[in-house]
Amino acid sequence: MAGQNNPFDSIESAQQYLELLLEAIQEARQEMEAELEMANAGGRDRAAEAIRLVIFKLAKLNDTIVASKGLLGDLETLERLLTSEKVLQRAVGM
């Protein structure tokens, strides 16, 4: 779709997108922790157990996104190396 702003047009924009996703995950986790306190205080054991599972899944998702950001950083470094090598090859006439 030409002309539309794609969050994955570059590695840098994908990293920004993942940073926003991490913020949203952290906000959701804080909300769920508050819900868990209310469920525990209200004696809602089944709800508390479900909320604990949500918190666990959010933590796993957070870990996955953090790992993905690391991989994107590695790709960004490799992209810079390859780009500078191409420039060097052009400069020496290879």
At residue 4, does pLDDT exceed 70? no
d(CA 72, CA 82): 15
At residue 41, does pLDDT exceed 90? yes
Confidence (pTM): 0.77
pLDDT at position 6 is 72
Query: Does a structural domain hold residue 3?
Result: no
What's the domain range around 64?
A: 12-85
Query: Does a structural domain hold residue 4?
Result: no
**Residues ≥6 apart with Cβ < 8 Å to 55:** 29, 32, 33, 36
Query: Does a structural domain hold residue 94?
Result: no
Query: Does a structural domain hold residue 36?
Result: yes
Our count of domains for the chain comes to 1
pLDDT at position 1 is 42
Q: How confident is the model at residue 93 (pLDDT cuts 50, 70, 90)?
A: confident
Query: Does a structural domain hold residue 90?
Result: no
Query: Does a structural domain hold residue 53?
Result: yes
Query: Does a structural domain hold residue 2?
Result: no
